[in-house]
Structure formats: C-alpha cells, structure tokens
Structure 1
Amino acid sequence: MLGRRERRQRAENALARLRSVLGLALGAAVGGHEQALLHKRQLEFERAVQRIGLAKATRDREIAEQLTDPALAPVWERITRERDDSYAEWRRDGLGAVRELVAAHTPGPAGQPWQEWLGTLGTDPGVRSPRLWRIGTAHVEHESPEHGFPLAVPLLEHAHLRLNSARGNRTAVDSIVETLLLRLLSTFTPGLVRLHLWDIGHLTGPLPNLHPLTAAGLLVVHDPTRLDDLLALLAGHIRKVHANALRAGRTTLKDACAAAGRRVEPWRVAVLFGNGERLDEEQYRELNRIARTGPDAGVHLVLVDMPVSASSPLETVTFTDAEQASSSITGPGVVVRADPPVSASVASRAAAAIRDDMVVRRGRPRSFIDLLPRVLGQESSREELRTVIGFDEGDPIELVLGDATPHALVAGPSGSGKTNLLYAMLGGLAARYSPRELELYLLDFKEGVSFAGLTPGTKDPSWLPQARLVGVNVNTDREFGLALLRYLSQELARRAEAAKRQEVTKLAELRDAEPEVSWPRVVAVIDEFQALFSGRDQITQQAAALLEDVARRGRSQGIHLVLASQDIAGIEAFWGKPAVYDQCTLRIAMPKAKRVLAQDNLAANTLPRWHVVVNHDSGISHGNEVAHVPDASSRGTFDELQRRLWREVESSAPRLFDGAHQPSLLTTAEFATPRGPVLGQIIDVADRAAVLRLEAAPGRNLAVLGTATEDALAVLASSALSLGRAYAPGECEFEFWCHVESLRDNVLAVADALHRRGHTVRTRFDASIADMAEETCPGKRFVFFYAVDGATQLLERKEVGAVQSGLDKFRSLLKHGPAGNVHTFGWWRGVARLKDTLGFGGNDDVGAWVALDVQGSELNQLAAGQLVDWSPRPHRAVFFDRTTHSRPDVLIPFDPTSALEER
C-alpha cells in the first residue's frame, strides 16, 4: 500500500514539474512573440524613414503619430544620432572627395562657371570627351547649401539625360539644357558637336538664344509635326556610323576616333521637349532603339518630359517644384538645384561667335591641299585604304577601300566631274601611302590622256611613285583591259598561295606573317570600264569571268577595283554577273548618275555640279554622304603633289600604254638586246615585244598577211633591223626581194640601214626574183620577200626545158630552207594568196604569221585548230606561232623610222 502511494506521489510531482516547465516555455514564447512584433514594428518604422528620407520624415504626419509610441522613440533617436555622425563624417571627408571627383572629370567648360568660359571658342579636338558635365548643385536635405557639391552627369560617349519639369514650370529645365549645350559647344572645336532641337509645343523652336547656330548648320530645329523624320535621321546616322566603325575593325565610334587620333565623326545631340505624355507605339519603340544604340555611335539624347524605357544608359533629374529636384545619380535625400541661368545676351553672343568661326572655316574655299595629310606617306594600308575625297560644309568626307568595302563603282555623265573625282582620290591615296603600301594600275578607255600625266613626259619628267601601269586611249584595245584583269587574277593567285603557305586568310595577317615581303594593297582604276563589254565576243566573256573572280576574291588579298563609267545601266555582260555589282559596296554617284545607287535612292538627281554622293552601304539611302570635291586636276594641284612625291620618294617609272601612239622600235628593250626578229609591241601589262624564235627546224618562216601596207612594211622592217642587231657582221646575210616598184624606196632604206651596220645585203627588184637562193647557208641567211603575190606571174613562169618553176623553187625554199639556216619573211596580201603560194600540204612550212586587216574567220585554218576571235582595226595585228602559242597575241607594229636613221 505504501509503495503505491509513493509511486503516485512521484507521478504527481513529475506532472507538476512538467506543468511548470510548459508554463515557463509558454510565457517565454509569448514574450518572444511580443518582442518579435516590437522588433518588426521598429524595422518597418526605420525602413519607412529611410524610404522617404530623414528630412521628410520629420515633416511626415504618419511618422509623427508613430513617434508617440515609446517603443519607437529609441529607433528615432538612433537614426538621428547616426545621421548626425554620418553628416559629420560627410562634411569632414566625403564632401571634399565628391568635389574633387567632379572637378577631375569636368575640365574647362564642362565644369567651370559659365562666366569663366562662355564666349571663347573650344579647342578640344574631340578624340576624348570629359566624363562628366555639370548641370547644377546638390546638397543633403536639411543641410546648408554651403555644404553642397557640384552635380555632374555623364553624357557624351556614356549616357543620355532625362529631365522632368515641375508641372507648369519649365524654367529651371530650360536653363539646365541651354547651359549644358553651351558647355558642349564651347569645349570642342566648332563643328564637332551638332545639335537637333524638337519641341512638341513650339512652332518657332525652343532655346532661342542658341538659334544663331542654325546659320552654320550646327543646330537644326525640327518641325514639331515631323518627329518621325528626326527619329529616322538619327537611326540612319547610327547605322552609318556603326558600319563605318566595323569597316575600320572597331566596335564603337569612340574606338574608331581613338585609333585615328582625331574625331572622325561629330557628336549628334538631340534635345526633345515633350509634354509628359507617351509617344505613339512606333515612335516610342524607335526612340528606345536610338537610346540603346546611340552612345556607341556618338548620338545622345536630352529628353525633357519624354517618357522612355529605363533599359538604356540614362540619368534622370526630376523637379518637384520650380527650384528643387532629385536625381538618379545621387538618389533620395539629396536636393538638386539648377545653376543660375546664363545671361540671354551673353548666350546669344557666344552662339554667334561659334557660328562665325564655323562660317569662316567653311567660307574659305576648300582646295586640293585640304585633301592631303600634313605629313606625306606615313599611313599603313595593313587594314584598309582611307582618304578624304571632299567636304560637307567644311567637314571631311572619307572614302574607304578595305575588307568591308572592297571595290568601288563610280558613275556620272560626261561633264559631271568624274575625272576630277578620280584625281582627288588618287592624290589623297598617294599622299597617305608609300609605294610599299599602295600600287596603282590605271586604265582609261575613253579617248584622251587623263592619266598620261602620271608618267614621265617631255615637259614634265616626274611620275606618280605609286603608279605601276598607266593605260590611256585604250578605247579600241580591249585586250589591254583583259590583260590587266588577267594580271590581277594571277597576282590574286600568288597572294592566295602565300596566305595558304602561312595558314592565314587576310592580307593583314599575311603581312604580319611575312614582314620582310612587300605586300602592298593594289588598286586598279578602270575608267569607262563598260568598253570591256562592248562586243559579243571572247574578250567580253573572259573579261566578265575575270572581273567576277577578282571582285569576289580580291577582298581578302588587298586587291581593289574602282570601276568608273558614264552610265552602267546598259552593260549587259556586267549585269549578268551580280557578284561584281554586289561586291562593289562603295558607290560614288555624280550628278544625274543612274543605277549606281539603290533603286529608291534618288540623291544624285539633285546634286549640284562638283558634288558627289559617297555611299559605303551598297547605295542604300541611309549611307549617303554628300561631298563637294575640290579642283584636283588644274595646274598646281595634283601635278604639284606628284612632283613633290617624285622628288621625295624613290620609285621606278610606271609603264605607259598609249593606244593612240605607235611605239618606237628604237626604244623597246627587245630591240636593244635582240634575241631574234622583233615583230611588234604585245598589248599586255608587261612591257614586252613579240620576238619570233628562229632555229634550224622546219616551218621557221614568217608570213605577214593583209593589205595594210604601212603596217606590213613596219613589221618587215622591224624584223630585219632587229636581226641586224642580233648578229654581228659576217654572221648572217640579208636578201630583199621586191617586184612592186612603189615599195622600192622602203626596201632600199632597210637595206641601207643594214649595210651601214656592216652586213652583207643583196636586193632584187627584177625578174631575178624567180631565181631562188640556195636552201642552205653556212651562217644565217634571211630572205625578205615583199608582196609575194605581186610576183606570182614571175614565179609561175617556167623556162623552156626547165623542170621547176620559180614557184616550185620558192616552195622548196620554204620547206627546206629553215633546216639549212635560211629563213623567209614573206608578205602576202591575203590568206587565200598565201595558200595559193604554199600549195597543197604547204601550211606547215610557215609556222608563224602576223595578220593585219584580215578577219579572224579567215585565220582559223592557219591557227592549228585554235579559234581566232579577231576583228581588224588600224595599226593593230595579231601574231600566232604554232610552236609557242595557245592563243594569238595582239600586236602594235613598231614605228621603225628612228631605227632606220640610226648611225
């Protein structure tokens, strides 16, 4: 019984203890809960104070009511105590640091009071911009303004600025905008900052003190009803700047300016005054696109009462009344005030001074010298070729040939200034790039000598050092244009092979891989290039194929085409090769030019004379830049630059091909050291003559075909005189046969010239022609038979009792003579007459021929199965040697006069 009571007592005691513990725990929980609720109230109170700021909290009715709660009073005391401590620390350390920071990043007009700089002209070249621009002052609420600091915001190259005015009062906002714009204009050289103003509520334009700038084009006030036009203008400019930067291998305009060491494009600052209402959806989207992409392209917005997305780099100042504002850069609790406004008269005079300076700069007529750099020949063509081509209201407009714009298409009717443009381009390039950086190949298909002055002349011995080839009067010699394209294709293959060897893909990389090798950029200028496609023949087909190949692959290997024409609309073969047109992303349109720009781009229609549209974006309208091109072709312009470069730069003279002049035999290199008979000048990039290979082998005779007497005599004379130089007296002998009396004087002149050199020369002008020479000779014997078909009757006559006629003997001479060192040079006035002379199976006895006024269809049977695409023209010939040629060479017969007179 006792044991049971004891156990019960212990159980009751344990239960009592449990009740006590549970009571204590419950009490602690209630107390903790109450403490947590109190702490929560204190935190919420502190948060509310911080949210609205301590200064505003002292005036806030709700905060005042909460302070009657004894539990919140300690929080208020702590906040005010910390504020006092922070303010003391701020006054001691922070305020000075902020002032120093702003001063360091707002040099000159960017941060100084306007009284210290307004009215003076800016001199900063604009390579880099101040990071911050002062707009007013700021101080912590409930602090004295003397403890304030200057407030500056980022703008150029960094951000945009948004200003929200107090309802019904825009005075402070207008003051900030006007002073800020004057700071920008007064910091940089006039012209480096361009302003656009748009105000939804002002027909006459806002900020009247700045309107003097409109006369110099530094300020454009836009129609309040045409916001779309302004947004399209800014968007197009952003696209153009980005395209130019990418062509230069940069991602932003800032990088492009830093690389160039100068401002390559002015800043555009657009000030838009709204009414607080959001724009329509399309305008709002376009404005936000400009805000996002503008800073990298040098386009910045100053928005007044204009809602815009916060996703762009944007600083905001919002006025709560006529004088006070808050800003995003300082946060809540800081009062912002605008600086005192600029005096209206002083602001107007400052704007007028900037305008006048700009007018003076532009008022001076731009000349050729303005296209040139201060120091000649110092730029590298590793990445691209760049030169100033003209000016837009005093601002330079550049032309770029590089990876992004590899080729250029130039179009303009006669008299529009196309030749002057080409000289401006060539002068600018030659002044910037040495011959090691740039090689020029220049062809002019029209009748004239526009490029001839780039080579040595009788009056001016200078030449353009960068020029390697100059072709003028090439209008009838399309083969020369074809030869240039073939040369460029070969050079392209050579560079591609070197790039493959070095495992690179671009010229810049190849130059880095092989610095010891000269890899200049090549520019081929072909004026009136449509002449290449003027016929439906093999030349047109081959030229179109080669042009397409060079246009497509030249980009990566630094070979650039500049194709100029009066009108490219009707070039059938050219339009059949869209790859050529597509690769010509640089388009230059003279006044009234057709088809060179995009179809809907009509900018060329309204151009004044001596102006051009330069477009690096395949002719699309937003890429248009209008430039006035200075006079570059008058005396004292390009010619003076050429003479200066010629004196200062070591180079070899370029080759001149002049289709209007017959080359002199005496001056050709092959005549100076002949290896055989020189027949004529080959129409080719290389300055070389056609030389017939003579050896003791069958068929080593030459036939001259055609009725063009002057040219036939020139070919025969050149052959004889060059052989006279190739052999010493006694090593060979000459025989001249001619039965045509009218040719006698010419034959005797050639014979006399050879005789003066000591050679044995025999002539036949009578019936003795029919008595053939011996078919073998211990030395060399050269028989020149003039007008063979004119002596047919003599050759066909057979003496009584004779086994062979003279014609039989002549055929035997042609067949067996070459093996016996006897070679015949004969002139027949037609293919049929040659075949009559040779007889059946005799074609192989004449292994080479020069045809003059003979149609190609007649020559096919003599060309060993080759198709001869040849149309005769004056003073031109086609040469074919079946032992060496896969296709005929077109020749210009030499003028042998000076060689005949040589003593």
Structure 2
Amino acid sequence: MSKRSEQRGRVTAALDQLRRHLGLALGAAASARQEAEADLAKLELERMIVRAGIERAGADEAIAERSRQPGMTDVVNWLHTVRGQFYADWAEGPNTLRELVGRAAPGAAGDPPGHWLGRVSTNPGTSVPELWRIGTSTVDSKTTGVAQTFDVAVPLLDESHLSITSAPKTRPTVDALVENLLMRVLSTFEPGAVRVHLWDVGQLTAVLPNLYPLSRTGALNVCDPTRLQDLLDELAGHIRRIHAHTMQGGHTSLRAMRLATGKRLEPWRIAVLFGNGEELQSERLRDLRRVASSALSAGISLILVDVPTTLGGSVENISLIDERRAISSMTGTDLVVSLDPPLPSSQVSMAATRLAEALIQKQGGPRSFADLLPGEFGQERSAHELRAPVGFYEGDPVEVVIGDASPHALIGGPSGSGKTNFLYALLGSLAARYSPDELALYLLDFKEGVSFAGLAPGRKDASWLPHARLVGVNVNTDREFGLALLRFLADELRRRSAAAKDHEVTNLADLREQDPHGHWPRIVAVIDEFQYLFAGRDTVTAQATSLLEDIARRGRSQGIHLVLASQDVAGIEAFWGKPAIFEQCTLRIAMPKARRVLSETNEAAVSAPRWHAVVNHDSGVSHGNQLAHVPDASTKDVFPKLQRQLWERFASNAEPRLFDGAISPLLEENDEFERLPTYTRPRILVGQTIGVRNDAHVVELSPTPGRNFAVLGTAIREALSIMDSCARSLAQQYVPGQVEFLVCNLVDRCQPSVDELCKKLAVEQHEVTTIAGPDLPGRLTEYAEQLSTVDKQRVLLLYGAEAALPALEAKAPGVLKSGLDHFRVLLKQGPGSGFHTIGWWRAIARLKDTLGFAGTDDIGAWAALDVQGSELSPFCAGQVVHWSPRPGRALFFDRTTHASPEVLIPFHHPDPEQVRP
C-alpha cells in the first residue's frame, strides 16, 4: 500500500507542477496579447495622426477620442517630439531645397517669369531640367519658431506624368498652373522642340487661349472634345514609331538615345487632358493607361486634370485646396504649396507669338519646290530602295520610301485636293536624286487631261524628263493601254526573275551586285485615275486585276513598283475582292478630304489642311500618319525648270514614248514603218498598237490561202486611213516594178483621197492601175484567168466593195461564171499566186454575200470600225466578241496570230472632203 501511495503522490505532484507551468504560460500569453493590442492601438493612432497631419489631428474627433484612451498620450507626445526634433535638425532644409531646385530647374524651369517670359531659347534640347517650379511651401512657424520657405517643383519631361485634382471654383487656378508649366517648358528649349496637345472634355475652343498663337505652327494642337480616341491613337502610334526607332539603334528610350548621341532626335510631346471628374469610358481609359505606361520612354508626358484614374509609370499629384493653395506629392500632405500667381495674360500671348514667329523663321517660312531638291543631281543609288522628300512638317522634310518594306503606293484625293501637284513633287524629288540608270518611270494618266504630257518632248519645249520611258495621256477611253502597260511590267518581272534565278539571288540589290554590268534600274509605274482600268465587267478588267495582283505581290523583290492614284478609290469594285493588291500598297498618301485611302478608322485626311498630304508607310494605320505640306510643283515654270536641268544633265538618254489617246498617230513616225524594208515577206500596217512600244498591227501577206484583208464599217475617215496605211506600207517594201496596185473606188466621196493615194504611189514609181466600177467584173475575170502566168505581185485595193455586188452577180447569156465567181477564186487562190485583196465593206452582211457559203476563211484578217461585236463572231472563229464601237478606234483580228481581237488606232488621215487631187 505504501508503494502505491508513493506513486500516487508523485503523479499528483507532477500534475500540480504542470498546472503551475500552464498557468504561468497562459498568464504570459495574456500579458503579451494585451501588450500587442496596446502596441497595435498605438500604431493605428500613429497612422491616423500621420495621415491627417499633426497640426490637423487635434480637430479630428476620432483621433481625439483615441488619444484620450489610457497609454495613448505617449503616442501624441512622441510624434510631437519627433516632429520637433526633425525641424530642429532641419534648419538648413529650405536653403538646401532652394539650392536643389536651382540646380534641377535652371533658367525658365525655375526662375521668376520676368527673367524668361517672352524670350526665345536657343537650347536645342540636349540639356534638360529635372524639375519645373510650381510654387513655394512654408514650414509652420508654430513648430520651429521661424517661418521656413522653400521652392516646390515637379518632374515632367522624360521623368513623370502629372495628375491635377481641382477644388470647387478653381478652374482658373488650374489653367494658370498648367499655363505656367507649359510656358516654362516652351521657353526652356528652342522653338519646335516641344509640341503640346490640348484636350478638354467640355470645351471646343478657349482651352488655354493665350497659347493659341502657337497653333499656326503645329507646336500647339487643340483636339476635338469628341475625338479623344484620335489623340490617343496618335500618341500610341508615335510611341510605337519611336520605340521601333530607338530599339533599332540599341537604346531603351528616347532619352537614352539622346544621351548616347548628344542630339535631340524627336520633339517632346505634352498632352494636357482636362476632364470633369467623371471616369472615362472603359475603352478610352484602357487606351489612356496603355499610352501612359510607355509614354515617358518615347518623350511623351501627360498632364491630367480631373481625370480620375491610376496611370502606369511615374506620376506626381497636385490637389488644389482653394484658389491659391494645393497639396503636392512632392512635399507630402503636411505641407501646403502656395502656387505661383498666374502669368500676365497679355505677356503670355505676346510670348507665344514670339515663339511662333521664331519657329516660323527657324523653319524658313513656307518651303518651295526647290527645297525638295538635292544640291547635286543623280547621286543616290536605288539598289535597296528609293527615298525622297515630298513635303515638310514644321520645317522638317517628310520622306516617301519605296522599297521592299513599302513596295507600292496608293494615292487618293478628290478633285482640287492637290493630287497632281503631289505626283509632280514626288517625281521631281525622285528624278533629282536618282539618275536614269537608277530609276525608270512609266507614267499613265487616264483622265481627260495632259498631266504628264509635258514630261515628253513637245512643240513649245523640246526637253523631256530623262527618267521617263513611257508617257501616256488622255487614255480614259483606251483601257487597253493600261492593260498593255501591266503586260509589259509582267514581262519585265519575268525577265528579272529569270536573271535573278541565273545568278542565284532573290532580290534586285543582290542581282545588281552579281550582275554589275546589267541594266537593272528600279521601275516606278505611276497610273493616275487607275480605277478606269476596272470600269467595266469585261475581259480588260479581269486581265488587269490578275496582272496587277501578280505585279503587286512579286514586284517588290525585283524592283518594280506601282504608284496608283485616284480621285475616288471608294468606287473601285474590282479591288475590294482582291485584298492582295491593297495589302501590298503599304505606302498610302491621302490628300485632304480623301476617304478609304487610309485604314477604315483613320480619318486624318478629313481634317488635313489644303496643300497638305497625309503620308503613311504602315498600310494606312493611324499611328503611321505623317502630315506634310507639299510645295507648289505643278504650276508654270516650276517643274519645267528642273526638267530642263535634268535633260541637260542626262541628255544622252532616249526620249520617252508618248501615247496621247486624243491624237491620231502618224504612219511615218511609227517604228514598225521604219523597219519595213528589212522584212523578207511583205506585210501591211493596219494601225498603231495600243501598247508600250511605238509599234503597229501588221498583217503578213504570205503566199498562203486566206491572206486577204478586209475593212468593215461605215466610218469613212478611219476606213480610208487603214486602206491608205496598208497600201503605203506595202509600197515601202517593194522596188518599182515588183508590185502592181489595182485601185477601184466605188464610193464617190472617197475619190479625192483615193486619187491622192494613187499619186503618192506613182511618185514612188510603182505601177498603179485604176479600175472603173463598170469595168470591175471583166478585170476580175481577167486577173483570175492570169493567176498562174503573172510573175509579179498584184494588190487589189477595193473601196466600197459591196457596191460592186450587183454588177459582179450579173451573168451574160451563155457565160457559166459571173464576175463574183471569179472574185471568189481570186480571194481563195490569189494569195498563193501573189494576188492579195485589201477591201472595204461597209456592211457585214454584204461581205458574207461576197464570200458565199463557208467562205469566211478567205478573209484572214480584218479591222472592224462601227460594227457591233455580235456581228463579228463568224469572222472570229465563232468566239464571242466584246466590242462596242468608239471614234478613232478599230477592232483588229488576224486568225494566224491572234487568240482574240485587239483594239488598234488608225493612223492620221484627213477628212476626204478636205483632200484635193
């Protein structure tokens, strides 16, 4: 029992000892908790006093109630002791701050207005103040015994954004504060170094009106209150462009690039946004925050007034208390900032005027076309790209770049917007920088005018633009000429691609390096009013669209570039289904009021001033906009002066081919006419081709069946022209005695013209036999019977052939064959024996009667005038012919060479009534 009792005693003692330890631990924990709760209460009271400010804490009932709780007196006493000690140790603080602001805000950034207001700085922007003065602050004398005043300044450019919150009835104070800051910034740097954007949600105008003199220079832009998105898009585009530029140079920001290069490469931008205390729409707010987060590195500072938001990046805050005082994040909530008084209104306006005048003078005033030109002509190389200024923005040149990155250009502008003037500025600037060996121009104007005619030799001026290879004007009705140009470019593209493949390269720059002796200039084809190419739903539109798409897609690598200009791009239906074409036109130029040239949401051209253009190398997206004032390049004696200088400098270059759709070409000036004597087989020239080269449509009079030619239609002048050019071109190839011309005219009105032709043939000593209408049947019978015995060529020129049908169909009694039967023999078998017929039938039906059943093959080639396409199908292998007659044009088809008919231009021929034998 004693043993059991002993064990029980030890257990009880152990439990008592455990109880004592647990009691001590719980007591210590309770005491620690009470101490922690007391410390937490002290810290909360300390936080409340610091937040409210020691001087204002006594008036706060919540703070006063907490201060009366046990143990809280020590907190208040300790804070007063710390504050007193701080100000006792800070006796030199105001002087130190004044010295700091003096160093960080020199000159106009911190000096009184009388020292700088109205003066123009020469600082180019390489020395940038860190702070900008807004007022002063005073340490309360109740704390230190002596009032301590120091300057207050805020960071801005490259350093921080600024958010200002107004108090009731303090808008004039806010305006004065912002105006003070802007004038300090503008007066610190040379004019043009800073650009200001003003936006006020509640005002169309009168936003800081004293600064308005700067608006005529571009240094100040007042934005539409309903178009905040436009401003944000502009800033975002500027940020993207600057970041791309700085990153390419290996720098992280515009400031870093400036420090590395020692130069200010871009102006600063300050965007001042006046709100009304209400939150912006969610989309605008998101865009604003996105801009703010990257703006400082791109040289953009935001000043937000009553725009409640939290911005990314460094932001300083100013909250107004009343008309004179504010709280700044630079000084804390305990110190009140006495804002600098407003600058005198008249002095601000005068200072802004002086800055504007200095900027205009610095920019040289309005620039002229001569300012676009280099000091020496033809010194640039086009292996990699073409680069030339086309205008100026605030004195700085705005360049157009045509190369691999921006291969093709789209230019749009309504009538009178300056589109033609821009084209001349572009052509002149390019031609002055690149020699004809570096740049070849193909110029085509579809509208009824002669915009490019002066670039080819004329009667008044024999000079031409040496870079021009082709000049086409007045071709609004000759869509085929535009198609011919595209075919030429496609052929040149294939030629260059083949050469690049042979040299195992992929682009023009490498090809020129591998083939330095080859002739590989960059080609720029300018097509003004190009929408005419797609005016109809026909084969021309289909082929032009296909060719243009191919050239636009593949031309960049081989140095072939398109410049497409139009007054009304919105009307080009054929293009909207071909995005590949517009996607390749990354260079967009929009004249004032132009639409759908830039991207759908980019309306910069709508508000562009007259004589300006919006140049955009980023497919029309708004961030790529560059506004350019385009100098006068198209008035009398402006461009011609440059052209004559270039012509004298590069006089050895051949003159360009001029195609004028309003002028009938001359047979004697056709290149094919000059080459005729070199051919071994006789050929006739029917008319001029609608093509890049000065060629003619020809018909070879070979000794094979069907090599006869017919002119179809009632258009007398055009018919006489074709008959005349056929005869004269044929006579050019024979020596006298080798050919006999048999001429029969059955149209009285044409007799003077026929006699004139016979006279010309006789002068060239060719044998000419005229046949009277009544004698035609007998003569045809005679010629048919002599086919196998004649040893010379015979050509029958038959005018108004259908008029001979009654006589040809008549048969004398007892005669088996009529004159028509012999005529058909001559048509069928004559070519093989050297007898060819060139006839003019005024009606398709009468030609069918002449040929008889299944006789269409005996007419191997024809030219149709005022004949509808549906009538020509039997003479065109049964295919559907799309042709509507037009004055001065003919449809030509040669069954041995053509897959489909082609349009030709008859050579010039005088009215038959004006011709006298």
Q: TM-score, normalised by structure 2?
A: 0.70
Question: Can you list the C-alpha shifts for 1:708-758, whole angstroms capped at 9, x where unaligned?
Answer: 55544543444455455557x59x921100134645643444434654xxx
Letter in structure 2 aligned against 1:825: I
What is the one-letter code of the residue matched to 1:134? Answer: W
SS at match of 2:475: coil
The match for 1:701 among 705, 708, 712 is 708
- Partner Cα separation in structure 1 for residue 163 and residue 439 of structure 2: 49
1:847 aligns with 860
| Whole-angstrom distance in 1 between the partners of 2:43 and 2:502 | 73
Q: Is the deviation greater in 66-75 or in 132-141?
A: 66-75
Counterpart Cα distance in 2 of 1:272 and 1:448:
51
In structure 2, C-alpha distance between the alignment counterparts of 1:301 and 1:734, rounded to whole Å: 90
Give the AA of the match of 2:711. Answer: V
Per-residue deviation, residues 294-347 of structure 1 (Å, max 9, x unmatched): 77599865344x251114554312356888765446767888676787677764
> Match of 2:24, SS?
helix
Partner of 1:772: 783
1:182 pairs with 2:195 = no
Contact 1:381-1:433 at 8 Å conserved across structures: no
Q: Are 1:862 and 2:875 matched, yes or no?
A: yes
Q: Determine the C-alpha separation between the residues in 2 that align with 1:70 and 1:576.
A: 86
| Residue from 411, 415, 418 that aligns with 2:414 | 411
Aligned match for 1:683, one of 687, 690, 693: 690
Q: In 1, are the aligned partners of 2:237 and 2:622 still within 8 Å (CA)? A: no
In 2 relative to 1, CA 564–856 (structure 1 residues): closer, same or farther, beyond 3 Å? same
SS at match of 2:227: helix
- 8 Å contact from structure 2 (residues 440, 522) kept in 1: yes
> Pick from 799, 816, 819: which aligns with 1:787?
799
Alignment counterpart, residue 738 of structure 1, candidates 732, 737, 743: 743
Deviates more, 1:17-26 or 1:691-700: 17-26
Instruction: Give matches, 1:635-674, under 5 Å.
Output: 635-646=636-647, 653-674=655-676
Q: 1:238 to 1:824 in 2, by over 3 A?
A: same
SS of corresponding position for 2:872? helix
1:91-145 alpha-carbon deviations (Å, 9 max, x no partner): 9xx9999889x85xx797567776665433356788x996955235899989999
Q: What amino acid sits opposite 1:705 in the alignment?
A: L
Distance, in Å, in 2 between the alignment partners of 1:130 and 1:255 is 24
How has the CA–CA distance of structure 1 residues 319 and 430 changed in structure 2, closer, same or farther, with 3 Å as cutoff?
Answer: same
Paired residue for 1:890, among 903, 913, 916? Answer: 903
Residues 857 and 341 of structure 1: CA distance in aligned 2, closer, same or farther (over 3 Å): closer
Q: Give the direction of change, closer, same or farther, for the CA distance of 1:96–1:337 in structure 2 (3 Å limit).
A: closer
C-alpha distance after superposition, 1:388-436 (max 9, x if no partner):
5688x99999999997996444333xx7766546545655666688879
Structure 2 unaligned regions, length at least 5: 258-262, 746-750, 911-917
Matches of 1:604 and 1:441, distance apart in 2: 28
Q: Is the 8 A contact 1:442 1:469 kept in 2?
A: yes
Letter in 2 for 1:27: L
Asked whether the 8 Å contact 1:291–1:300 carries over to 2, the reply is no
What secondary structure, in the 3-state scheme, does the structure 1 residue paired with 2:481 have?
A: helix
Q: Secondary structure at the match of 1:739?
A: strand
Within 1, Cα distance between the matches of 2:670 and 2:340? 81
Deviation at 1:809, TM superposition (A): 4.3
CA distance in 2, matches of 1:606, 1:80: 59
**Is the Cα–Cα contact under 8 Å of residues 409 and 589 in structure 2 kept in the other structure?**
no
CA contact (8 A) 2:486 2:548 kept: no
| 1:386–1:40 CA distance, 2 compared to 1 (3 A) | farther
Show the 5 A alignment for 1:261-272: 267=269, 269-270=271-272, 272=274
State the 1:876 CA deviation.
Answer: 2.6
Quick one: distance in 1 between partners of 2:334 and 2:407?
A: 52
Residues 455-485 of structure 1, C-alpha deviations (whole Å, 9 max, x = no match): 2334434444565533222244343345456
Q: Provide Cα deviations, 1:588-632, integer angstroms capped at 9, x if missing partner.
A: 6778x9999999999999999x66896989999999999986543
Q: Is the 8 A contact 1:139 1:145 kept in 2?
A: no
Q: CA distance change for structure 1 residues 370 and 329 in 2, over 3 Å: closer, same or farther?
A: farther
> 1:454 — aligned with what?
455
Equivalence for 1:226: none
Letter aligned with residue 692 of structure 1: V
Structure 1 position 880, deviation (Å): 0.7
State the distance in 2 between where 1:439 and 1:249 align.
34
Paired residue type of 1:772: Y
Q: Which residue is equivalent to 2:915?
A: none
Equivalence for 1:224: none
1:24/1:793 CA distance change after superposition, 3 Å: closer
Letter in 2 for 1:783: V
Please state how far the C-alpha of 1:863 moved relative to its aligned partner.
Answer: 1.6
- The AA in structure 1 aligned to 2:739 is F
Q: Give 1:315's aligned residue.
A: 316
Identity of aligned residues (%): 37
Change (3 A) 1:53 1:8: same
**Partner in structure 1 of residue 2 of structure 2:** 5
1:468–1:96 distance in 2 versus 1, CA, 3 Å: farther
1:815-870 CA-partner distances (Å, limit 9, x unpaired): 23333455443444444444444343332122112233444344332222123333
What is the TM-score normalised by the length of structure 1? 0.71
SS of 2:662's equivalent in the other structure is coil
Taking the aligned partners of 2:497 and 2:595, their CA distance within structure 1 comes to 35
Work out the CA distance in 2 between the residues paired with 1:763 and 1:448.
Answer: 46
**1:877, 1:891 within 8 Å by CA — same for their partners in 2?**
yes
Give the aligned partner of residue 901 of structure 1.
none
Tell me the distance in 1 between the aligned counterparts of 2:526 and 2:205: 52
How far the C-alpha of 1:885 sits from its partner, in A, is 1.3
Contact 1:704/1:850 (CA < 8 Å) preserved in 2? yes
- C-alpha distance after superposition, 1:632-689 (max 9, x if no partner): 3222322234344555679765432112222233333323333443322111344432
- Cα distance in 2 for partners of 1:320, 1:54 equals 16
Aligned residues: 848
What is aligned with 2:831?
818
CA RMSD of aligned residues (A): 6.5
Q: Matches of 2:338 and 2:768 in 1, distance apart?
A: 112
Distance 2:247 2:816 in 1: 96
- Paired with 2:659 and 2:20, the residues of 1 have a C-alpha distance of 117
Distance in structure 1 (CA, Å) of the matches to 2:284 and 2:521 = 45
Change (3 A) 1:250 1:5: closer
Taking the TM superposition and a 5 Å limit, the aligned residue runs for 1:294-309 are: 301-304=302-305, 306-309=306-309
1:44 offset after TM fit, Å?
A: 6.8
Question: Matched residues in 2 for 1:406 and 1:193: separation?
Answer: 29
- Provide the C-alpha distance between the structure 1 equivalents of 2:18 and 2:310, rounded to a whole number of angstroms: 59
Q: By how many angstroms is 1:81 displaced?
A: 14
- Map 1:71-82 onto structure 2 (within 5 A): none
- Matches of 1:7 and 1:529, distance apart in 2: 119
Aligned pairs (5 A) from 1:374-385:
none
Q: Secondary structure at the match of 2:783?
A: coil
